Structure 1
Amino acid sequence: MNNLARKDALDEEIVPFLGEFALVSDAAELKSLGNGFLGRFPPQRRLEIASVLTWSNPFFLADIPVEAAQKLKLNLDQFAEFVMRAKLTASRARQLNVLVACAPKSASTFIENALRKALGLPSVSLFTATPTAFAGTTLGANLREQEADELALIRSGLNGLGYVAQHHMRCTPYFAQMMGIYNIRPIVTHRNLFDTIVSLDDMVMTNRTGEALDAQKYFGDGLPANYARLDVEDRLTILAQRNAAWFIQFFVSWKKCERAGLIKPLWISYEQDFLGDKAVLAARVSRHLGTEFADPVKLADAFEDKRDADARRFNKGVAGRGREMPESVREIILKTAGYYRDEEDISPLIGD
């Protein structure tokens, strides 16, 4: 009876422990915490617990003795079979998988949170093998190019619930086919580039306040340590030089894949849709995701709800912020955009 009580007590500790464990990035701390927790379980349960810990944090591997590790070894044939079975299961799962592919500062975090609330789905990361999108950021993945990782696609496709993912990612023919295999429904958000750069500067300046040194924040935004001490023209110049080409490539890549018939995304314009009639937007989203999954009334309510707007990175919520941008910065953006004018209609990004 005492053993059963101890088992129940340990099992009750697993979920809260995993929540903290998933966010640990220091290798020594991770090893100590993981192996210490593993050692609390009887030998017959340690493989189960080691698997759960490794699933929770991609940097953890249990200290398994060489002889035991040999018994667990997979060959390539076994690995190929397990991957095929996992892909097959994820592909056949009846669940709603939503990707908000977003240009930065296009209200995408607000939209993603509203979708999660209305649809009752968890947030996941599709570019890191972590249990939640937040864990990927905490573990230092912010500067990675947010290309989808197939292990993450499989993980999330097997969760039995569905998900909403929000990523700054371009589209490619390769990823378009992956979305087909894993039944991902893309929503693409975009915004005027001049407004975007000004809004991005606001966000960085807010994040650069506080006790942490600017140099410690490099892996969060990739900007120089003295960014907050530069004048506004220099700050906007850095952002335009770094981001303008990527923002345009993002938009063009999704347009080209759509025009090739590889994808059927729902396009959401910050100016026309997000700042427009939320009921109309909700109806469009509901039709795209399927009315059996997405109630337009719940979606409209979620889009209208701004009670936790700060937490959802909702900044000014207006259009036209880039009108007062220094002309030198505007020229950088327009020159970069000029190279792509013959590729696609990019007027939604820079105007007519």
Structure 2
Amino acid sequence: MADRSARRHSHRGAGPAPLPQPPRKEGEKAMNGLALLTSRPWIWSFIATVAVWIITILFTGGAGAHGLSHAAFTFASFSVIVGLGQMFVITLGPGNIDLSVPANMTLAATLALKLMDSQEGMILAGLAVALLIGLAVGICNYALIKLLRIPPIIATLSMSFLIQSTAIWSNRGLRVKPPESLAQFTTASTFGIPNVAIVALILSVIGWVLLKKSIYGRWISAIGQNPFAARMAGIPVDGTRFVTYLLCAVLASLCGFLLACFSGGAALNMGAEYLLMSIAVVIIGGTAVAGGDSNIPGIWGAALFMFLIVSMLNTYGFGAGVRLVLTGLTIIAVIILASGRRAAR
């Protein structure tokens, strides 16, 4: 009797059974998936890239589509390499930036090519010199920042003047050619993919692993979000920042080495366009300027976009002044779209 009463009370307390939920429609799932995709800041750089590519190809009637794509991946690869290093630095938080990238590229390329002197047997030695120059530049940059307490933007800019002066002194107007095999490697393709793009892709994968799968990636994100809290949590803030500036400088020197081999020699102005380019591809690609949030896929989309927008404006016959204005406006539009989506999240 007691059991029967307990069952009645239990049944009453349970309340009515929940109504079965209608199955979600395929259209609703697709819309949710699309909303999730467009909420990613980096997606807008790829959307802009595809749009610019289509507009350019339509103007030419479809001619040169393969050549344009091949050139885009080739030249964008150099922006990706320097952008990866700049991304790590910017992730450290406000004020962190490396303005010594162009001078670093020039000096590394100049000294490496002079050492190789077009000799096949000196390729590894030349590469080692380029990387060592990057390490030296990174050490000097952070020494100015930490020991002299100079803001990074001032420290790296001052360092760039010293590096560029050294490059001018060592170059003396000479343009030494790279070894033939190295020149062929940087200008050739493997399975239709430019070799320099393959190198940039490998570096991107390594960067992604560092950023998402290692303690170092968690450290730089924490420092970018709140350096004081990161220090209180026991994170080696100074050591992490030091390694980050080293990484940025080494990637810049490697890019200079590859660019000099690709273009047939080192020139004093070879890195000039990569000062703003290394920053632009990071910001357009969805990395937060305030730090703490970085994005490697977006760097690829932004680098391709930056090359294709200039190619499109050249194809349409715009003058240099108009190209600069339209390029700037387009970049602003992409950033606004990405920022709006980030705020909506």
TM-score in terms of structure 1 length: 0.25
Which is helix-richer, 1 or 2? 2
Which is strand-richer, 1 or 2? 1
By relative contact order (CA 8 Å, sep 6+), the higher-ranking structure is: 2
Rg larger for: 2
